[in-house]
Amino acid sequence: MGRRDRPLVAVLLCATLAALAVAATMSNLSVQLPSALWLEAAFRPDIGDMRQVLVHYAFLPRLAVSLLCGAALGLAGAVLQQVLRNPLASPETVGVSAGAYLALALATLAAPALLAFGREWVALAGAFVALAAVLALSWHKNLSPLSVVLAGLVVSLYAGAIGAALVLLNHEWLAGLFIWGAGSLGQQDWVTTLWLLPRLGIAALAIGLMTRPLTLLGLEDEGARSLGVPLGIYRFAGLGMAVALIAVVVAAVGVIGFVGLAAAALARIGGGRRFGQRLILAPLLGAALLWAADQAVQLATGPQGDLLPTGAITALLGAPLLLWLLPRLSLGGELPLLAAERLPRTGRPGILLAVIGLALLLLLAFALLCGPGPDGWSFAFGDQLQPLLSWRWPRVLAALSAGAMLALAGMMMQRLTGNPMASPEVLGISAGAALGMMVAMFSVAGAGRPLQTAAAAAGAFAALLTVLAIGRRAAYAPERLLLAGVALTALFDALILVLTATGDPRAMLLLNWLTGSTYGVDPGSAVLTVSIALCLLLAAPLFIRWLDLLPLGTPALRSLGVDVAGTRLLVLLMVAVLTAASTLIVGPLTFIGLMAPHLARRLGLARALPQAIGAVLAGALIMVGADWIGRTAIFPRQIPAGLVATLIGGPVLMWLLRRR
């Protein structure tokens, strides 16, 4: 498809989605009411006819809410990607959704009286507390895109980890919140619509008035300053309006993921090369996408049914669409890579690495020897230690290996793509493994560990092959790989969410694994994982030269005689193997691969080799500590190591982010 045709793609796509949504809407309406009564039900419903009452006070408000929320999320996604100069920026990036979810969970458990003032106000309070934390962490950097992205990721992961821990420990009390967190658009009157309209309208108008300065924010900081743009002011204003849109939607209907990212990405690859075009295309695509998804939900469950969360179905519809378009279109109008922050470099990396390594050895000894028992806490030695070791050492070794492999994979992924939001699970490999395990658990009665592992491996490598197939035609360009991985992850996560929303008791077992658990590790699995980790870590030095060169960009690589496509493919395969090996043993861990490389970098380890070693040691250190805390903190109950890793690693990274 030629360049001249590309501006039409987003419009045609929007029209197609709208046409499908109209057809589904008419089908759903005809089930409830004869077509001759549609206008009467819309404007002058007969109170004596329950069918007209349901259409007027349930079906039509739900339709209006889907259009408003989809447009708001699409607009917010476009603004965030522009302000943060990152194609992966989305409403989830700035921590607002996680903050709202956590606030509602805490209010439900600790202060239910607050819910009497309205769930939306509690959610709004949580959303703006999360935003305040992001601004506090990045303010001293003048709200630079990189600092905001990292702060948003840390806050989102931290709030999400606390929320997930509360769900695991109190799932019987938070079942309704789980459905809300998946995005439910069911309505009983026009109150929500009327509440949304003025708030969304004011935020959208403010964004429209800032179109020109926001357009200039897409330039590098130096270029924007040379044009007299007050970066801090407009970046703050753009972030504020985008977050206001997201917070209002989350407060009204819950967390609807993927719409903001998908609508903005589809607008860009569908022809919106200028920011002004994307400001129009993204809301239209978001509205059409959420409208079509919600009508599809009603076709499947009935017009008054809400058995399937609309947020999950949106990903089921939008992700395949994004995957289908990516190989066929040039991305065009790509955003510039984020400039690296000027971080301190340590003059003696060897000393720093030795300190981290010594801390890891001490922690390993502590995790093996110390723990609670029937008689309280104690250090076990000799004969007392022997029966305990068979329980402790497999979990410790599994945590050590998984943390090291994911940290190395994250470091390689971030250097490959030049994107601080890149992490191993972004490739979709972890989600593919989770889907494979879920299929085994739900389709085979009494599926044992070997079958679950084999199914997870099949899912992981199916996801990898899909990403490679999409990226092959573009020489594995980083942005294309990232968008393909995000779409694939959203698709798999949506399938998992739909099945877990059924209430099946096996879903809680799956949730434990999804949060990074070492519960089921046996000695054989631990030895196998350590062996794989050692082999892969010993092979890592072969990639060091490439990892030093990859951040220079494609033109520089070609001038140095580097085979760009081949190098990217080999690095990508290494990342995939590292991720799959760790995921199969302890489940997907979202924090280690994302944050361990940043921890190493902020400690002054700038070159590829010391950063790789530092990331591996930091990842292993956090995971071993997290596993020990998870199995001892509320003994005999346990908390998944993945959640604890986020809870203990998040504050450390927050402290490093606050350092000048």
Where residue 76 falls among pLDDT bands split at 50, 70, 90?
very high
Of 83-87, 327-331, 336-340, 473-477, the one with minimum mean pLDDT is: 336-340
CB-based contact 260:286 (threshold 8 Å): yes
In this predicted structure, the answer to whether residue 338 has a pLDDT above a threshold of 50 is no
216-237 pLDDT, tens per residue? Answer: 877 766 666 676 667 778 888 8
CA 242 – CA 229 distance, rounded (Å): 19
Read off φ and ψ for residue 370, nearest 5 degrees.
Answer: -105, 140
CB-based contact 52:222 (threshold 8 Å): no
Instruction: Give every CB contact of residue 535 below 8 A, 6+ residues apart in sequence.
Output: none
CB-based contact 160:283 (threshold 8 Å): no
Where residue 5 falls among pLDDT bands split at 50, 70, 90?
very low
In this predicted structure, the answer to whether residue 374 has a pLDDT above a threshold of 70 is no
Is the pLDDT higher at 192 or at 372? 192
CATH architecture under which domain 6-328 falls: Orthogonal Bundle (1.10)
Q: What is the DSSP secondary structure assignment for residue 340, as one 8-state letter?
A: P
Triad 400, 488, 253: Cα angle to 5°: 100
Instruction: Give every CB contact of residue 45 below 8 A, 6+ residues apart in sequence.
Output: 52, 53, 55, 56, 57
Question: How much is the pLDDT for 332?
Answer: 46
Is the pLDDT higher at 639 or at 358? 358
In this predicted structure, the answer to whether residue 161 has a pLDDT above a threshold of 80 is no
6-328 and 355-427+486-658 have identical folds: yes
Mean pLDDT over 2-30 rounds to 82
Percentage of the chain surpassing pLDDT 90? Answer: 15
Length of the chain, in residues: 660
Structure tokens at 327: 């190989």
Look up residue 77 and give its amino acid.
G
Q: Closest Cα partner for 206 from 249, 250, 162, 240?
A: 240
Tokens 């943390």 sit on residue = 403
Q: What is the CA radius of gyration of the chain?
A: 25
CA 448 – CA 129 distance, rounded (Å): 44
In this predicted structure, the answer to whether residue 277 has a pLDDT above a threshold of 50 is yes
**Burial state string for 344-362 with b = 16 or more CB within 10 A and e = fewer than 16:** eeeeebeebbeebbeebee
Q: Closest Cα partner for 406 from 574, 528, 525?
A: 574
Question: How much is the pLDDT for 71?
Answer: 95
CB-based contact 204:69 (threshold 8 Å): no
Question: How much is the pLDDT for 1?
Answer: 43
91-130 pLDDT, tens per residue? Answer: 777 788 788 888 888 888 888 888 777 777 888 888 888 8
Of 154-163, 168-177, 467-476, the one with minimum mean pLDDT is: 168-177
Q: What is the mean pLDDT of the chain?
A: 80
Most confident of 32-41, 118-127, 345-354, 517-526: 32-41
CA 517 – CA 638 distance, rounded (Å): 9
Question: How much is the pLDDT for 508?
Answer: 64
Of 196-205, 316-325, 344-353, 508-517, the one with minimum mean pLDDT is: 508-517
CB-based contact 139:151 (threshold 8 Å): no
Q: Closest Cα partner for 325 from 256, 260, 278, 271?
A: 271
Tokens 């378009």 sit on residue = 325
Triad 560, 565, 568: Cα angle to 5°: 90
Question: How much is the pLDDT for 305?
Answer: 58
Question: How much is the pLDDT for 229?
Answer: 67
606-643 pLDDT, tens per residue? Answer: 888 999 999 999 999 998 998 888 888 777 777 777 77
Q: Where are the domains of the chain?
A: 6-328, 355-427+486-658
Choose which CATH entry (1.10.357.10, 1.10.3470.10, 1.10.10.10, 3.30.500.10) describes domain 355-427+486-658.
1.10.3470.10
Q: What is the 3-state secondary structure (H, E, C) of 381-436?
A: CHHHHHHHHHHHHHHHHHHHHHHHHHHHHHHHHHHHHCCCCCCHHHHCHHHHHHHH
Q: How distant, in Å, are the alpha carbons of 25, 110, 265, 576 from that of 105?
A: 34, 8, 31, 35
Q: Closest Cα partner for 584 from 448, 437, 443, 462?
A: 437
The pTM (predicted TM-score) of the whole model is 0.75
Q: Closest Cα partner for 207 from 258, 252, 255, 244?
A: 244
Q: Closest Cα partner for 286 from 317, 320, 253?
A: 317
Question: How much is the pLDDT for 329?
Answer: 56
553-562 pLDDT, tens per residue? Answer: 777 878 888 7
CA 360 – CA 613 distance, rounded (Å): 13
Triad 479, 480, 486: Cα angle to 5°: 90
Percentage of the chain surpassing pLDDT 70? Answer: 83
